[in-house]
């Protein structure tokens, strides 16, 4: 298989498949790290994960709001023939 075909496969992959692949890979490696840790830390892993998920949620909310705002601006520009 040529490199172009390999890259073309990932370019055409639907968003839901990319999400499933990302979540699946993260879950597998997180479980593997839990079973065979490279280093031991004094902090609680699940408490730290909750904080990270909080940051992720906050980032997603901000991105969605700015996406909606950008869509509104571009729609207004098109309707008013501006730009």
In a domain, 29, yes or no: no
Tens of pLDDT, residue by residue over 28-74, are 998 998 888 888 878 787 888 899 999 999 999 999 999 999 999 99
Q: Is the pLDDT of residue 1 over 70?
A: no
Find the domain containing 51 and state its range. 45-83
Q: Report d(CA 83, CA 36) in Å as an integer.
A: 57
Identify the pLDDT of residue 57: 95
In a domain, 79, yes or no: yes
In a domain, 72, yes or no: yes
Tens of pLDDT, residue by residue over 24-39, are 999 999 899 888 888 8
Instruction: Give how many domains the chain has, as a whole number.
Output: 1
In a domain, 21, yes or no: no
In a domain, 64, yes or no: yes
In a domain, 77, yes or no: yes
In a domain, 30, yes or no: no
Please tell me the pTM assigned to this model.
0.56
């Amino acid at each position: 298989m040529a490199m172009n075909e390999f890259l073309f496969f990932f370019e055409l992959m639907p968003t839901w498949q990319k999400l499933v692949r990302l979540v699946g890979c993260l879950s597998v490696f997180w479980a593997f790290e839990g079973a065979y840790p490279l280093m031991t830390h004094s902090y609680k892993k699940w408490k730290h994960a909750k904080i990270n998920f909080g940051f992720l949620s906050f980032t997603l909310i901000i991105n969605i709001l700015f996406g909606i705002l950008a869509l509104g601006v571009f729609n207004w520009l098109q309707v008013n023939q501006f730009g």
